[in-house]
Amino acid sequence: MGIKQKIIMALFKKLGVSRIEGLLTKQRSLGTMPDMLLPTSKSPTRFEIQLEAMKLMEEGNDIVMPNTFPAKRMLSIMKNINLSVDSLDKNPIGPAAVASIEFLNDLRAFAKSHGVDPLEFVKLPRDLIFQHMGVLYDNAVILAMEMSQELIDKAPSQDTMNMVFETYDELGIAANKIAEFLREKGFGAQADHPLGGLVLFPPLAQKAGIGFVGKHGLLITPEFGSRVRLAAVYTSIENLPFAEQNDHSWIADYCSSCGLCIRGCPPRAILNESIVHDTGQTTNIKQAECFEYFLLNYACSLCIKVCPFSKKSYSDIKTSFEKTR
Ligand code: SF4
Ligand code: SF4
């Protein structure tokens, strides 16, 4: 085992399996709290990133890890996942259910001041809540945060990895701040962290009309292509302007004619044809294969880098594609 890996192992041990398991137990306790919306038999099972990382580290005596894991960011991420559960105690009793247009504009401005843009509203279907988890309200505010073009272009690299974890962390902090902002105005709120979320974000964001899920399983948006991370806040506000349509469904046809991420994925973790799980959920990603490569290769991100939407403008791609149909 190389020196870098020894340091990483030591950091992981410092974090402690028990601490990670404690966090997961805390999140799962949401599924036993009164008045929570629970998953259905069709809901997906969450891939437990932190536990899988521990397993790989402990088993991987012969693996080579060139990167330095951004452990400080990971500690902050865990702190903010904890906060998203602990802060539920601060929700007002008898929360308000109606918000003015002015307030929603203030909410967007507040979110933007914390790096969140776009932000949209959607009714959360219970089928997207992960097994064993619980969500307080089905009124979802979907949050997106851009990842740096320059650093995605450098993928895979240490700088890219640092930026990926920084974005997860900053978006998680923003989600908690937005929940706090809502509570201060008398609304109930629950933040959902982008790493270790309670629901499957990409299809929820697609339902919110923010973009469309590509073959690589990530959301493609008009503003930033695939270079976004997603999170959510669930709120007691019932009169949100929920999305009613999605204008980006042409992307599915475009993906069928593209396939660059499928060919560009080193462990061949992106499939052309979807896999249908027992629950009925479909995916094109072999998560275990992707995650192992991601962890051992600077947070990989090659599928984001090669995606044409990460480089060219959405409207240019759409115009050219329409000419071919
Ligand atoms: S992050 Fe890397 S390993 Fe994972 S799907 Fe994308 S290209 Fe493949
Ligand atoms: S690289 Fe091509 S196939 Fe993959 S998500 Fe992007 S547009 Fe779709």
Which residue from 204, 211, 35 is spatially nearest to 125, judged by alpha carbons?
204
pLDDT category at 226 given cuts 50, 70, 90 is: very high
Range of weakest confidence among 15-29, 106-120, 224-238: 15-29
| Mean pLDDT, range 228-245, rounded to an integer | 96
Q: Which helix (H) or strand (E) holds 252?
A: helix 250-258
**Which residue has the least CA distance to atom 4 on ligand 2?**
261
pLDDT score for 11: 62
| Ligand 2 pocket test target in 212, 219, 224, 226 with most atoms within 8 Å of CB | 226
List the single range of 110-124, 134-148, 187-201, 268-282 with lowest mean pLDDT.
268-282
Which ligand 1 atom minimizes the distance to the CA of 304? 6
Tell whether the model's pLDDT for residue 6 goes beyond 90. Answer: no
The pLDDT of 41-66, averaged and rounded, is: 75
Ligand nearest to the CA of 248: 2
Which range (4-18, 62-76, 190-204, 220-234) has the least confidence?
A: 4-18
Query: Coil, helix or strand for 139?
Result: strand
Find the range with the poorest average confidence among 8-17, 34-43, 246-255, 289-298. 8-17
Q: Residue 242: pLDDT band by 50, 70, 90 thresholds?
A: very high
How many beta carbons lie within 10 A of that of residue 51, not counting itself?
14
pLDDT of 75 reads 87
Residue 5 has pLDDT above 80, yes or no: no
Q: Name the closest-CA residue to atom 6, ligand 1.
A: 303
How long a stretch of residues is the chain?
325
Is the CB of 302 inside a 6 Å radius of any atom of ligand 1?
Answer: yes
Looking at residue 53, what is its pLDDT?
76
Atom number, ligand 1, closest to the C-alpha of residue 302: 7
Average predicted confidence (pLDDT) for the chain? 91
Q: What mean pLDDT do residues 289-317 have?
A: 93
Whole-number pLDDT of residue 115: 98
Cα gap 194→231, rounded to integer Å: 5
* pLDDT, position 43: 94
pLDDT at 112: 98
Rounded CA separation 165/172 (Å): 11
Nearest ligand (C-alpha, residue 215): 2
What's the pLDDT score for residue 309?
A: 97
Look at residue 74 in the predicted model and tell me its pLDDT. 86
Indicate if the pLDDT at residue 204 is higher than 90: yes
pLDDT bin (cut points 50, 70, 90) of residue 225 is very high
Which pLDDT score, from 0 to 100, does residue 49 have?
A: 81
The answer to whether the pTM exceeds 0.75 is yes
Of all residues in the chain, the percent with pLDDT exceeding 70 is 90
Helix (H) or strand (E) holding 235: strand 228-235
- Report the percent of the chain where pLDDT is more than 90: 75
Element (H, E) at 81: helix 71-86
How many angstroms separate the CA atoms of 290 and 287, rounded?
5
Q: Is the pLDDT of residue 131 over 60?
A: yes
- pLDDT greater than 80 at residue 134: yes
Mean pLDDT, range 107-127, rounded to an integer:
97
- pLDDT for residue 18: 77
Distance CA 34, CA 43 (A): 20
Q: What is the DSSP letter of 212?
A: E
For the CA of 285, the closest atom of ligand 1 is 5
For ligand 2, mutation pick of 304, 309, 314 (most atoms within 8 Å of CB)? 309
Q: Please, what sign has the CA dihedral across residues 129, 205, 306, 161?
A: negative
| Per-residue confidence (pLDDT) for residue 64, from 0 to 100 | 55
- At 267, phi and psi to the nearest 5? -85, 15
Rg (CA), the chain: 20
Q: Looking at residue 323, what is its pLDDT?
A: 92
**Pocket residue to mutate for ligand 2, from 219, 254, 305, 314, most atoms within 8 A of Cβ:** 254
